[in-house]
Structure 1
Amino acid sequence: MASPDSNIVKLTPDAGAPAYRTAPHNIEAEQGLLGAMLVNNDAFYRVSDFLEPKHFFEPIHQLIFETAASLIRAGKVATPVTLKTFVPAETDIGGMTVAQYLARLAAEATTIINAQDYGRTVYDLSQRRDLIRIGEDMVNVAFDAPVDFAPRAQIEDAERKLYDLAESGRYDGGFQKFSQALAVAVDMAANAYSRDGNLSGLASGLRDMDAKMGGLQSSDLIVLAGRPAMGKTALATNIAYNVAKNWQGEIQADGTMKSVNGGIIGFFSLEMSAEQLATRILAERTGISSSMIRRGGISEADFDTIREHSIELQNLPFYVDDTGGLSISQLTARARRLKRQKGLDLLIIDYIQLLSGSGKRSDNRVQEITEITTGLKALAKELAVPIIALSQLSRQVENREDKRPQLADLRESGSIEQDADVVLFVYREEYYLQSKEPRPGTPEHEKWQLDMSLVHGKAEVIIGKQRHGPTGTIDLQFDASVTRFGDLAQDAQLPHQR
């Protein structure tokens, strides 16, 4: 609608039409913005990074904006004269021809100074209309939901739509002054200085790994890969426990809780049940093997130890989701919910190949994995937390003499290698060597025993890729009976030998 002192045409429903509640819109803002663009094409660049044709309420305004944008991007001038040739001449706009309406828009134009504010108004009203649509869809689906569409699935679908709406086309993005980025970098250094271990990221609790990586960095996608039985899940749970154990929170002025040390863990266990995961962590902490705990072959003293550690573990900020067959969109919705409700500082996914794409299962698995890894990297940036995603390696590792993994061994490696900020491989020479035991009493067996003594209880974490640090190998201690990783004793810390 035009302003009271304006002669511009009013695009409104007929007065005799039923009094339905119309969707939120502001015709004057749309007309003012389009007029400013037609008078001064620079007005377009003030809104082009967030405003799209679909954000306009009036279809004719969508067409005018889209056409003008195409002309301006092509380096041409968008005026009432150049524009009218691209809009059907027979179009009737409230009793006016296209040429008359375009000329009126230009004549009643606002100044270019107001263009961005008008653009924001148009965008915000479009978002309100989208919210109404999502709400209507929720109501209609809830009334007429098919039998195989569970309410939980509808909730996750609605959450996805809401977050897609929140993340698309925000007008608070774009370039920022370098000094702003510099201030964030200095704050990060200050936080690292005050945090335990003087690390810029979350401390994994493993000394040499933290030294090489500076901790687990915010917004990083860290892929932890290895062949079965190498200890991927064990390393992930060890890190998760170490981070959760060190958590300290501080209440902010706005009433929210901020982690000042350690972190809150979200663990998607797609392979093991939550009970199996808890048993494994109990074994790591108590030193009693998980098989003994499951079989009940423990003494009274062992049970007391388990009970003491379970009390400690109950208070950890550690949240497990063991739902199988999750899609990347479901995982994303659940991670956002955890961040909103409980907080989140580290997310772990065990493992990538057990996730599915957001649509129907694709025959092209490589394409599906690409969607998953791209989604995980976007989620890491959105939530501003490190994500550790476990991944299987292809069988081609077993065909080589040296079975140390390489980047090319990643299944569907293209997207995983490309999207990951850090790629870690877990490798245990002991696992391969113990299956090659020669016949006892032979010289080969003596050599085998020597080789086994050198690698017994040891593991390697190979940094195959790191965007902001060196690659290389980290030697760790590994206790297979309780699947626990630890630091290797340094020479200076070894017990004194006489």
Structure 2
Amino acid sequence: MSTGAPQDQVERPQALGAEASLLGAILHNPAAIDGVRHIVEPSDFYSEINGWLYEAMCARRDAGEHVDFRLLTTILGNRDLGGETVGKYLGRLATEATTVINAPSYAKAVREASRMRRLFETAIAAQAAMTTGGVADPAGYAAQMIEDLDEIATAAMPDHMRRVAIGRSALGVIERVQEARAGRVKLGAPYGLPKLDHATLGMRENQLIILAGRPGMGKTTAGIHFGLSSARAGFGVCFISLEMDANELSERALAACAYDPRANEYLTYRAIAQGRDVSDRGLQRLVDAQRLLDTLPFEIEQQPGLTVAQIAARVRQYRMRLERQGNFLGLIVVDHIGLIKASKRYSGNRVQELTEITGSLKGMAKEFGVPVLALSQLNRAVENRDDKRPKLADLRDSGSVEQDADVVIALFREAYYLEHIPERTPEEEDRLDRVGNILEVEILKQRGGPTDRMECFCDIACNVLAEIAS
């Protein structure tokens, strides 16, 4: 008894509409080719004619020729186009064209349909092999299917996650060294603190970076500063705020960008939140700061209680928007680890939950090929020591945070503890005056790099962080 349509009657997966829209976009604006060539190959097209036409368009673009209706008409000549004239076929493509901005999305649809066809054909070939009669070892068929399916799955991975020979990888490293020597390569997304950037080479792709500290140490201040510094350098930043809403973060960002130590008016983020006492001149500083922020590729995701999988979905959407605008994703900031919703797999076991979360954050860094900066609380053991400077052992709940992190940076403000002494001695008052705006930034861990401690100027009320000139 038959259980389905004959194989020769089953329609292969295809995206002919997307193919036509993509080619039409190139007809209208050949520059669209530059935004899709890394996404789709001629062999990805379901229609042989479309694939050939796309290949011809790319070849003409490489030759520096203008790709237009007349040139393609000449190239196609009397080619069989399934009963349509060349003019009618190209006219239909032009009619169905998408915009240049949307071209990458259509190219991805063409590519995904191509991969689905390969999956379909692999399954059909496996079925045919197993129904030819006779008895064979099923392990052999299974091994071949696994190999074929793995090849398809690997093709869908970003280049930085695929298997690679060590010699080829080493050659890539040498090429980056040569580019860096020539001054043509940006290293990681910048922290915006020169000493820290020099010690770490910036926030580098695939890294999980933990920014740790007790409450009141300035984690959010530093996180916003690092994000804004990266955005100013052209790195697209996705700030996942699980604690504060976008308005609170924006008040801090405005305070930081409007900061002027020479001005008479002190624009703290609390003063900005209250609003009523801001002067006309202060308001103009805020307007100027907003205009600056409006130019930065910096987006805030403010929904609370997200899982790592949901965070990844939000980041994926933002990355696509950046790519359509000609930008790129360069940094993910998560504020903070303790507020990420765990899956139900280890419900009630906080150590295992945190292990799963940090492992997933590291996986997300590798998936997107960008650094993930995750803020983390330190446990209360710090408060029981005379020297309250953080140590790796103070990371809360699990050693997995230390284990999964490529870099651990800790923050310490002595002024915070001095301010909370009920009756300070003259010596303590003098000490508070000297360290009131000092934030210690310490690299507690760095794979393949030095540990170090540096002092920075920090105005918590204005969300300002800056390196102190030595």
Question: TM range, normalised to the smaller chain?
Answer: 0.5 to 0.7
1:200 and 2:187 correspond: yes
| Structure 1 pair 167–359 and aligned structure 2 pair: CA distance change class (3 A) | farther
Taking the TM superposition and a 5 Å limit, the aligned residue runs for 1:149-188 are 166=156, 173-174=162-163, 176-188=164-176
Query: 1:224: which partner in 2?
Result: 211
Query: 2:227: which partner in 1?
Result: 240
Matched length: 347
Identify which of structures 1 and 2 has the higher relative contact order when contacts are C-alpha pairs closer than 8 Å and 6+ apart: 2
SS at match of 1:345: strand
| Structure 1 pair 463–303 and aligned structure 2 pair: CA distance change class (3 A) | same
1:18-46 per-residue CA deviation (whole Å, 9 max, x = no partner) reads 64779899xxxxxxxxxxxxxxxxxxxxx
Query: 2:310: which partner in 1?
Result: 330
Query: 1 CA distance for matches of 2:147 and 2:395?
Result: 48
Greater shift after overlay, 446-455 or 389-398? 446-455
Query: 1:123: which partner in 2?
Result: 149
Query: 1:397: which partner in 2?
Result: 382
Unaligned runs of 5+ in 1: 1-13, 26-50, 63-92, 128-163, 248-262, 440-444, 491-498
Query: 1:414: which partner in 2?
Result: 399
2:221, 2:460 within 8 Å by CA — same for their partners in 1? no
2:211, 2:408 within 8 Å by CA — same for their partners in 1? yes
Q: Give the greater-gyration-radius structure (CA).
A: 1
| Structure 1 pair 358–165 and aligned structure 2 pair: CA distance change class (3 A) | farther
SS at match of 2:256: helix
How far off its partner does 1:190 sit?
4.0
TM-score (norm 1): 0.62
Taking the TM superposition and a 5 Å limit, the aligned residue runs for 1:95-494 are 100-102=134-136, 122-123=148-149, 166=156, 173-174=162-163, 176-193=164-181, 200-247=187-234, 263-287=235-259, 288-296=267-275, 297-342=277-322, 343-359=328-344, 362-436=347-421, 438=423, 445-490=425-470
SS at match of 2:228: helix
Query: 1 CA distance for matches of 2:187 and 2:155?
Result: 32
1:192, 1:201 within 8 Å by CA — same for their partners in 2? no
1:369, 1:415 within 8 Å by CA — same for their partners in 2? yes
Query: 2 CA distance for matches of 1:409 and 1:125?
Result: 43
How far off its partner does 1:56 sit?
9.0
Letter aligned with residue 135 of structure 2: Y
Query: 2:67: which partner in 1?
Result: none
| Structure 1 pair 216–195 and aligned structure 2 pair: CA distance change class (3 A) | farther
TM-score (norm 2): 0.66
Query: 2 CA distance for matches of 1:402 and 1:190?
Result: 45
| Sequence identity (%) | 34
Letter aligned with residue 401 of structure 1: D
Letter aligned with residue 123 of structure 1: L
Query: 1 CA distance for matches of 2:414 and 2:390?
Result: 11
1:120-143 per-residue CA deviation (whole Å, 9 max, x = no partner) reads 89528997xxxxxxxxxxxxxxxx
Query: 2:75: which partner in 1?
Result: none
SS at match of 1:347: strand
Letter aligned with residue 462 of structure 1: E
Query: 1:154: which partner in 2?
Result: none
1:356, 1:368 within 8 Å by CA — same for their partners in 2? no
| Structure 1 pair 436–340 and aligned structure 2 pair: CA distance change class (3 A) | same
| Structure 1 pair 311–447 and aligned structure 2 pair: CA distance change class (3 A) | same
1:220, 1:380 within 8 Å by CA — same for their partners in 2? yes
How far off its partner does 1:300 sit?
0.5
Query: 1 CA distance for matches of 2:166 and 2:447?
Result: 21
Query: 2 CA distance for matches of 1:125 and 1:377?
Result: 24
SS at match of 1:413: coil
Taking the TM superposition and a 5 Å limit, the aligned residue runs for 1:18-29 are 19=5
Query: 2 CA distance for matches of 1:468 and 1:125?
Result: 33
| Structure 1 pair 330–488 and aligned structure 2 pair: CA distance change class (3 A) | same
Query: 2 CA distance for matches of 1:278 and 1:238?
Result: 12
| Structure 1 pair 292–304 and aligned structure 2 pair: CA distance change class (3 A) | same
Letter aligned with residue 426 of structure 1: L
The CA RMSD measured in Å over matched residues stands at 3.7
Query: 1 CA distance for matches of 2:271 and 2:129?
Result: 72
2:211, 2:409 within 8 Å by CA — same for their partners in 1? yes
1:270, 1:350 within 8 Å by CA — same for their partners in 2? yes
SS at match of 1:391: strand
How far off its partner does 1:449 sit?
2.4
